[in-house]
């Protein structure tokens, strides 16, 4: 198997048909170049050049071999360019796992800006819950997880990204569904049937919801169980009960439900950008930069 260096040496002679000029182009002296070509011919077991005192000519084998060497050198050049562009975060594939509630702003704007600036990067999105996202990161099945906060996981790093408030989602016919801008006390829903999120879907998020209700003085009657926030809201639309969700989750929901802000809740960190710690991944770093910049712009 020949090396790219040998192919370059051979092509320099093949294209100039002069060992002296070829050596000058390559920035080397002629004797080592002549020796390298002889060694290449011995290695291949063929004669690539007809040599005389006055001229150098390619043999038929040499002409065929030159075409293949051009492909080899071009492939090596392309590989170098791809490596450089990948290091700069310009090409490649970026796999992102997202929880359902992340499919809005600022993710949409971040994706648009990232894809505009990196048109040759293939972006792949997969819906995950928080636990799945962490596991997929650890198994290197995805590169970034846009998930809800959880307990720290060894080998992963989390960057808080979006802060939201909880709101109470209500069926449209609920007695308190009237003034959607007027905050209401969470304790007023203590005796309501609740649509609840299955703990296995996101243990930390589930526990946060439960702690929020208990701080308001009650334990919710979790009569209906869902696997996602979207399913929770669909059940609320059916008039089955009420539920507590981030305000961003209800902004684009169409259907017979409404929501009201709460008087006794502070902001929560609803979404984090989670990546592998201690690794150099240019595309990941570029996406995080776009995410940070876009979030800053939307806040200003």
Q: What is the pLDDT of residues 217-236, one digit of tens each?
A: 999 999 999 988 888 999 99
Q: What is the pLDDT of residues 156-188, one digit of tens each?
A: 999 988 888 889 999 989 999 877 778 999 999
> How far is 251 from 162, CA to CA, in rounded Å?
15
Kindly list the structural domains of the chain, giving each domain's residue range(s) and its CATH number in brackets, ordered by start.
4-85 (1.10.10.10), 92-161+270-299 (3.40.190.10), 166-266 (3.40.190.10)
Q: Is 274 left (phi over 0), alpha (psi -120 to 50) or beta?
A: beta
pLDDT of residue 38: 93
> How far is 52 from 200, CA to CA, in rounded Å?
81
- Proportion of the chain above pLDDT 90, given as a percent: 52
- Does the structure show a pLDDT above 80 at 267? no
Q: What is the pLDDT of residues 96-151, one digit of tens each?
A: 999 877 887 889 899 999 999 888 899 999 998 888 899 999 999 999 999 987 77
């Amino acid at each position: 198997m020949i090396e790219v260096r040998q192919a370059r040496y051979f092509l320099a002679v093949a294209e100039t048909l002069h060992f002296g000029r070829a050596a000058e182009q390559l920035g080397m002296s002629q004797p080592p170049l002549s020796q390298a070509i002889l060694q290449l011919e011995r290695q291949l077991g063929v004669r690539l050049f007809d040599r005389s005192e006055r001229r150098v000519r390619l043999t038929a084998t040499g002409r065929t071999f030159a075409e293949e060497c051009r492909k080899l050198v071009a492939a090596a050049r392309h590989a170098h360019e791809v490596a450089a562009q990948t290091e700069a975060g310009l090409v490649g594939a970026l796999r992102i796992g997202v929880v359902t509630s992340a499919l809005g702003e600022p993710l949409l704007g971040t994706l648009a800006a990232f894809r505009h600036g990196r048109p040759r990067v293939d972006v792949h999105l997969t819906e995950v819950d928080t636990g799945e996202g962490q596991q997929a990161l650890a198994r290197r099945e995805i590169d970034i997880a846009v998930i809800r906060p959880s307990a720290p996981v060894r080998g992963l790093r989390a960057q808080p990204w979006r802060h939201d408030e909880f709101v109470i989602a209500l069926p449209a016919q609920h007695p308190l569904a009237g003034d959607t801008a007027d905050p209401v006390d969470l304790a007023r829903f203590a005796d309501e049937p609740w649509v609840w999120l299955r703990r296995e879907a996101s243990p930390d998020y589930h526990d946060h919801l439960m702690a929020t209700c208990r701080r308001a003085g009650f334990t919710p009657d979790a009569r209906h169980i869902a696997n996602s926030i979207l399913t929770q809201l669909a059940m609320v639309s059916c008039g089955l009960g009420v539920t507590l969700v981030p305000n961003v989750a209800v902004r684009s929901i169409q259907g017979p439900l409404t929501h009201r802000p709460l008087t006794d809740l502070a902001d929560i960190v609803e979404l984090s950008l989670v990546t592998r710690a201690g690794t150099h991944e240019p595309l990941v770093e570029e996406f995080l930069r776009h995410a940070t910049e876009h979030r800053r712009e939307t806040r200003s």
